[in-house]
Structure 1
Amino acid sequence: MHLAEYAPFGWLSLKAFMPATPAGFLASVGFSLAYAASDEAHQSFVPGRDMSIMDWMADAVGILISGYIYGRKFKYI
């Protein structure tokens, strides 16, 4: 479920930032990873939910997959 949520998020983040350089590309991916981490941290304040590094890693896989595809398409990788 995390991968299915964060792969499109990563792609949309890249489209929103429209990075013109590899550094901009990495900044956009970094932003997405930080957002996923903040989402996991926020869950620790919600009753019945908990923060999980495994969940963040699943989020990160989705972001990195979309980043890889985007990077290959636009020749950043």
Structure 2
Amino acid sequence: MKYDKVVGVPGAAHLRHPVNDYRSICYDKLVTLIAMRTARSIDFFAWLPVAALCAAIFLQSCFASPDIGPSFPLKDKALHAAVYALLAGLVFRACRLTWPAWRAPIQILVVSVAFATLFGAGDELHQAFVATRQADALDLLADLVGSLVGGGIYLTIFRRPPKATARPSTP
């Protein structure tokens, strides 16, 4: 009598050996655990750049505005737009890696722009309480425009069809 699993044979359940069933259950649980741990580490590493940039923005807004490079009109607004474009792009990327089941990229765009803009609003509110800084509605507008641009760029990259890879020809 064979003690392996018999698949597709009616009434063959009595032929299964309990040790083999236990091994398959343990194997299934191990595979699930590894998949969950891998998913958690992917989530962590996907959101790490977002957290780092948010921390850098918050820390920079605690101090006086640095004088960086040559001055040009609306330099402050351009820097706001660039930083929040990067933030929205990183949030878009993190959402795609964390929730791959989201098929509608517009959903992810809305979430990334909303996150970046709300973080910008919180940062402007924070600056209102810092002695050397001031809150500015135009900075918030620059944050919104930058997050729309950054999310839009990432959306464009995401929607681009994948490049065809050259396959070696077989004789």
Q: TM-score range by the shorter chain?
A: 0.7 to 0.9
Length-normalised TM-score, structure 1: 0.83
Q: Determine the C-alpha separation between the residues in 2 that align with 1:58 and 1:9.
A: 13
Where does residue 71 of structure 1 map in the other structure?
Answer: 155
Alignment of 1:1-77 (within 5 A): 1-18=79-96, 20=102, 21=104, 22-75=106-159
Larger Rg: 2
Deviations 1:3-26 (A, max 9, x none): 221111111111111162232331
For the aligned residue pairs, the C-alpha RMSD in angstroms reads 1.5
Identity %: 36
Q: Determine the C-alpha separation between the residues in 1 that align with 2:150 and 2:129.
A: 29
- 1:36 maps to a residue whose letter is G
More helix by share: 1
Aligned length: 75
Larger relative contact order, structure 1 or 2 (CA cutoff 8 Å, min sep 6): 1
Q: Determine the C-alpha separation between the residues in 2 that align with 1:59 and 1:8.
A: 11
Q: Determine the C-alpha separation between the residues in 1 that align with 2:116 and 2:130.
A: 22
- 1:59 maps to a residue whose letter is D
Gaps of 5+ in 1: none
Distance 1:23 1:4, change over 3 A: closer
Indicate the larger mover: 15-24 or 53-62.
15-24
How far did residue 32 of structure 1 move? Answer: 1.3
- 1:31 maps to a residue whose letter is F
Length-normalised TM-score, structure 2: 0.41
Q: Determine the C-alpha separation between the residues in 2 that align with 1:45 and 1:58.
A: 20
- 1:61 maps to a residue whose letter is V
